[in-house]
Amino acid sequence: MKQIIEKINKSWHSNPPCDQQIMLSVGKLFPLPDDYKEFMLWSNGGEGNIGSQYLSLWKIEDLMQLNKEYQIQKYLSKKSLVIGTDGGDNCIGFYFGEPTFIFLQPLGDLDLSENRFLSQSFTDMFINWLRIK
């Protein structure tokens, strides 16, 4: 994750690090991956271009409220947690099943048939978008 942060540092509109207590409380509800936690300790949400993609991550303190407002767990799965958007109409989130993965889903159509696999991990999403070998 450190290499990714170095690579996007200049183009990423970062926020101050997240509050570790809030991250722990969210972590009691969802098994947040270490790479995601590391990123949030660098920038609590934020946004920017990642290669040819755009990513807007929500602040850790807003995750539960926004997931509730969008009714993510009701329509997708109790194992789903949206963490941001592509800057447009699609949300990006974790599915904490076997296996855990990152998905892309239209916010206006929370039908599981519209759910698209993005990557196996938070780090892999950046690697794929930045085309890092």
Residue type, 107: L
pLDDT at 112: 85
Is residue 80 pLDDT above 70, yes or no? Answer: yes
Minimal CA–CA distance to 104: which of 122, 116, 88, 94? Answer: 116
E strands present in 1-133: 13-14, 46-50, 53-57, 80-85, 90-96, 100-106, 116-119
pLDDT at 100: 93
Q: pLDDT tens digit string along 7-44?
A: 999 999 999 999 999 999 999 999 999 999 999 999 99
pTM assigned to the model? 0.94
Minimal CA–CA distance to 56: which of 85, 81, 36, 35? Answer: 85
In angstroms, the CA 3 to CA 133 distance is 12
Q: Which of 7-11, 53-57, 127-131 has the highest mean pLDDT?
A: 53-57
Minimal CA–CA distance to 31: which of 100, 127, 83? Answer: 100
Q: pLDDT tens digit string along 91-116?
A: 999 999 999 999 999 998 898 889 89
Cβ atoms of residues 128 and 102 within 8 Å: no
pLDDT at 36: 98
User: Where residue 131 falls among pLDDT bands split at 50, 70, 90?
Assistant: confident
Minimal CA–CA distance to 124: which of 36, 40, 64? Answer: 36
Is residue 133 pLDDT above 60, yes or no? Answer: no
In angstroms, the CA 30 to CA 49 distance is 27
